[in-house]
Structure formats: C-alpha cells, structure tokens
Amino acid sequence: MIHLRALEVFLAVVDHGSFAAAGDAIGLTQSAVSLQIKSLEQDFDTALFDRSKRPPVLNADGLLLAQKARNIVSDFSSLRQSFKQQAYSGDFKLGVVPSVMTGLLPCCLAKLQAQQPGLLIHLESGLSRELATRVRKAELDAAIITEPQQTRDELQWKPFAAEPLVVISPPGSEGLQDHELLTRFAFLQFKPFSLIGDLIERQLRERQIRVRPGMVVDSLDAISLLVREGLGVSIVPLRKHCRSWHDKLVITAFGTRPIKRSIGLIERQHNPQAVLVETLHKILQQQSREVHFDV
C-alpha cells in the first residue's frame, strides 16, 4: 500500500537534493528517509534513484513519479482542507522584501491575523532573488518580491500591485526635469544586483543618462531620508502606504511613460499552503486598490 507520507518524503528529497537535506527539512533522520524511499520503490516495483551517483539522482521513473506525486499531494491537501472551516493553525513562513515590510504589508497581515488567529506567521526579510530561491527549496511557504524577469517552472507568480518609478529630490529642486535632477545632483543608488536595482540601471542605460555617483544604499527607506537631508537624488518606486517617507521630498515622474515595478507573491506549484497564500493575495490586492498615488 502506498502511503501519502512516503510521497511527501520523496518530494522533500526531490526539492532539497539529497536524503540528508530532506531529513533536515522535514525532521527525519537520513535512515528514516531512506526507509520511506525504499518502501515507495517496493510498492512501485521500480528504482526511483540512480544510486551510482552521490548524492543519488532521479532516474526516468523517479522523474515521472515526481511530476505525478505533486498533484496527488496537492489534491489530498485541498481535499482535507475542504472538510474544515476556513481556519488555519500552525506556522506560515513568509519572505518579504524590506520595501514592502515597511509599506503595504503590516495592515494586510493584521487583516490576515484577524481572520486566522491560530496562525503563527514567521516573517523573513531578504532580496527578491534570495527569497525566490528559498521558496523553490521549500524553506519558505511563499514570498513577496519584485517580479523576476524569468520564473522557473516549479514557481507560480501572483502579482498584486504595480508601483511607478519616480525621481525623488530635496526641497529647492522644484521645476527641474528628471534628467536635469539626475545629472546635476549626486545619485543615491539602490543596492546593485537586486531586481529593483537592475530595473533602474536598465532604464538609465536606455535613456543614456549618466548620473553623478553618490552613495550605494541597501534600503529604500534610508534613501528617502538621505535625500530629505540634501545628500542627493534617487530613483525609487512610489510605494503605497508610505506617504510619510515622501514628506518634504520633491517627486518627479521618471520618463514620459510610466515605468513600474510589479510586486507579487511567489509560491511553489502545488504548494500545501496554497489556500492560505491565495487568502493573503486577495487581501494584498484589495488593500493595494484602496490606495492611489499620482505623480
């Protein structure tokens, strides 16, 4: 008889790359993981891994089972949840980019917590690429990130907001065009190699704007404060629920057509927490629609 737990252990090995790593992730010893896999292979009367390699890798039958097993585990999770009222308990691990952590997220999590008082939410901050990798490895249930240029097949992208890029400058710079601000004042650059940093760099190159190097800063909130103190100008997304950060700043549209960063939730395909992620996504969408910013 094939047990659902064995399929879950098998998928953990697939997601984490080895028996030992899977055991660490789901709280089993390596020998217990091996026993579950051997049981599964006996039930199907076939080997699922090429054990001549270290660590063992999926063979053709293993790859086929991995595709089918995700649907089985996901369908069972949805079936089990359908017999419950929409109440959840336990841990929910959510990754968040810092700019959303201090913007839209707090009021949305308050609504989620009010709906699901038994839920223990673990928030972990990081850059978009790092968080997407952790979701893929099942270290996080979902993450709120800037839209990646490419999404791997095992991940699902669920956007909920689009924020226009603007030039922010200190008081006294009113009336200047965006290219004048960017070439006249020192430029405060958001951390390179981040998705939002890459987007800004591409737009500057396309418009052939050569900025005056100033500082490199790893926080959008810090950039706003530094600009308010007259230390330069910057390009940032105009974030909803962050009006206080824009007090005493001059805000100028960047470009003649809106250039926006898309923010959304990313999760694994066939995520056991898919219903909860969808609940949070709807809250984020609703809250995002309630706040508008015009440049």
pLDDT for the residue 291: 53
| Distance of alpha carbon 53 from the chain centroid | 33
- For 160-201, write each residue's pLDDT tens digit: 988 899 999 999 999 999 999 999 999 999 887 778 888 889
Mean pLDDT of the chain: 85
Residue 294 pLDDT grade (very low, low, confident, very high; cuts 50, 70, 90): very low
* pLDDT confidence of residue 226: 93
What is the model's pLDDT at position 25?
A: 80
Delimit the domains of the chain by residue range. Answer: 4-82, 97-295
What's residue 272's pLDDT? 84
Summarize pLDDT for 86-104 with one digit per residue, the tens: 566 678 999 999 888 877 7
pLDDT value at residue 293: 45
Q: Which of 221, 228, 243 is nearest to 102 (CA)?
A: 221
What's the mean pLDDT in 134-155? 87
Fold classification of 4-82 (topology level): Arc Repressor Mutant, subunit A (1.10.10)
Residue 143 or 26, more confident:
143
**Which sign, positive or negative, has the C-alpha torsion 240, 139, 83, 158?**
positive
Question: What count of residues does the chain have?
Answer: 295
Cα–Cα distance between 240 and 238 in angstroms, integer? 7
pLDDT at 241: 58
pLDDT at residue 66 greater than cutoff 50: yes
Tell whether the model's pLDDT for residue 242 goes beyond 80.
no
Structure tokens at 228: 């308010």
37 CB burial (10 A radius; 0-12, 13-18, 19+): buried
Q: Determine the pLDDT at residue 168.
A: 95
Do 40 and 28 contact (CB within 8 A), yes or no? no
Assigned token pair, 80: 């089990």
Q: Quote the pLDDT of residue 105.
A: 87
What is the arithmetic mean of pLDDT over 238-250? Answer: 69
Bridge partners, 155 (sequence order) = 268
pLDDT digits (tens, 9 = 90+) for 212-232: 999 999 888 889 899 999 999
Would you say 12 and 138 are in contact if contact means Cβ atoms under 8 Å apart?
yes
Question: Using CA of residue 267, residue 273, residue 277, residue 278, what is the dihedral sign?
Answer: positive
Q: Which whole-number Å values give the CA distances from 78 to 66, 70, 143, 188, 265, in the listed order?
A: 18, 12, 21, 47, 20
- pLDDT reading at 85 higher than 60: no
Give the CA diameter of the chain.
76
Rounded to 5 degrees, φ, ψ at 233 are -125, 170
Cα distances from 56 to residues 15, 121, 129, 151, in angstroms, run 13, 35, 27, 27
What does the H/E/C string look like for the chain? Answer: CCCHHHHHHHHHHHHHCCHHHHHHHHCCCHHHHHHHHHHHHHHHCCCCEECCCCCCEECHHHHHHHHHHHHHHHHHHHHHHHCCCCCCCEEEEEEECHHHHCCCHHHHHHHHHHHCCCEEEEEEECCHHHHHHHHHCCCCCEEEEECCCCCCCCEEEEEEEEEEEEEEECCCCCCCCHHHHHHHCEEEEECCCCHHHHHHHHHHHHCCCCCEEEEEECCHHHHHHHHHCCCCEEEEECCCCCHHHHCCCEEEECCCCCCEEEEEEEEECCCCCHHHHHHHHHHHHHHHHHCCCCC
Q: Is the pLDDT of residue 292 over 50?
A: no
Query: In CATH, which of 3.30.428.10, 3.40.1410.10, 3.40.190.290, 3.40.50.150 is domain 97-295?
Result: 3.40.190.290
